Amino acid sequence: MANDGILFIGFNQDSECFMCGLEDGYRIYNTDPLKENAREDGGGVKHVEMLYRCNYVGIVGGGKNPKYPRNKAIVWDDYQKKVAISLEFKIEVLSIKLRRDRIAVVFEKFIKVYSFSQTPQFMHVFDTYANPGGLCCLCSHSTNSYLAYPSDKKPGWVEKVDLFNTEKPSVKIEAHDNPVSCMAMSNDGTKLATASTKGTLIRVFETEGGTLLHELRRGANSANIFCINFNKQASKLCVSSDHGTVHVFMLDSPEKNSRSSLANATFLPKYFQSKWSSFKFEVNNHSKFICAFSQNLDQHSIIALCSDGTYYKYLLDNANDTKSCQLESCTKFLELGSR
């Protein structure tokens, strides 16, 4: 997500931290409470990837004056303040994903997987559909090693492979009719959520076999989905879009999601059968933004990060089964004019 001088904003695997790629380096923050944890100045960074809170940071150069050549994927050791791994290619790298034993490097039409070691060994390559956004989900949990990406078989399809057992056939998921624009995997790798360029539906699949678990309707009008995020238990889902709203869906208690009164009428289109969000709220900011559930002790708040450097914290109303929320705090995590 690039805008207003920020080239990238993203959360780490458990949303306890978030990263910003800038025209002059990157920043890493604790999410809640908000605190800057690390920074590196000098040169543009278009993608930053953490591995939970460990000292390794994945970096892809970008912007007007890239920190590293655009055809390199870098793993930076923030403790020793030096490059730990540098992978060079003939074409531009779009993004990088990390788990403790693997590095996934994403290009526009394929993904290359390497061992995460002092001398990385090439292990696999997977073809993708045209993927200019560098979409890819890599489960970092110890019990699953799933990699999910836009399938090259057909627009709107998603493919999942098990990096522990690549001889096993991949799972092909017919997720949408339009190309996939956003995707997210639960922290334990058991659920996969996707949205298409149309942006009206979010579908949640069981990752092992690709079974559809939930069809969730964000709205009736098309939208650009900025992000999808599960909470830690994968029981809730939050979604942000260019309509300036955050939608919250209950996955373990679907009866708490709204549904049309005509949902059971078999003669009507599927539109009426989809589950609508339990509730939604507006983020009063005209910039692009992403959202995630706070991993603080109560886990009853949502954090929104905007590309103008604004941080919002919304407190969910537990007394009413999180049917509403209120703005608890608003501050700047980055003053773009004074870097």
Write out pLDDT tens, residues 76-121: 999 999 999 999 999 999 999 999 999 999 999 999 999 999 999 9
Q: Is residue 220 very low, low, confident or very high in pLDDT (cuts 50, 70, 90)?
A: confident
Residue from 146, 207, 151, 192 nearest 174 by CA: 151
What is the side-by-side strand order in the sheet with 310-316?
Answer: 289-293, 301-306, 310-316, 325-332
Mode of pairing for the β-strands spanning 45-50 and 56-61: antiparallel
Give the model's pLDDT for residue 5.
78
Give the model's pLDDT for residue 267.
44
Q: Which residues, at least 6 apart from 53, have a Cβ–Cβ distance to it below 8 Å?
A: 12, 16, 17
Q: How far apart are CA 264 and CA 28, in angstroms?
A: 48
Report, as an integer, the average pLDDT of 25-38: 96
Give the model's pLDDT for residue 3.
53
Q: Return the number of other C-beta atoms located less than 10 Å from residue 84's C-beta.
A: 16
What is the side-by-side strand order in the sheet with 72-77?
Answer: 45-50, 56-61, 72-77, 82-88
Give the model's pLDDT for residue 272.
46
Q: Which residues, at least 6 apart from 255, have a Cβ–Cβ distance to it below 8 Å?
A: none
Give the model's pLDDT for residue 58.
98
Q: Return the number of other C-beta atoms located less than 10 Å from residue 63's C-beta.
A: 19
Report, as an integer, the average pLDDT of 166-174: 95
Residue from 175, 185, 120 nearest 150 by CA: 175
Give the model's pLDDT for residue 295.
81
Q: Which residues, at least 6 apart from 111, have a Cβ–Cβ distance to it below 8 Å?
A: 104, 105, 125, 126, 128, 136, 147, 149
Q: Which residues, at least 6 apart from 236, have a Cβ–Cβ distance to it below 8 Å?
A: 230, 248, 249, 250, 251, 252, 293
Q: How far apart are CA 179 and CA 157, in angstroms?
A: 8
- Residue 262, pLDDT > 50, answer no
Give the model's pLDDT for residue 265.
46
Q: Is residue 335 very low, low, confident or very high in pLDDT (cuts 50, 70, 90)?
A: confident
Write out pLDDT tens, residues 285-324: 889 999 999 987 655 899 999 999 999 999 987 555 546 7
- Note if the pTM is more than 0.85: yes
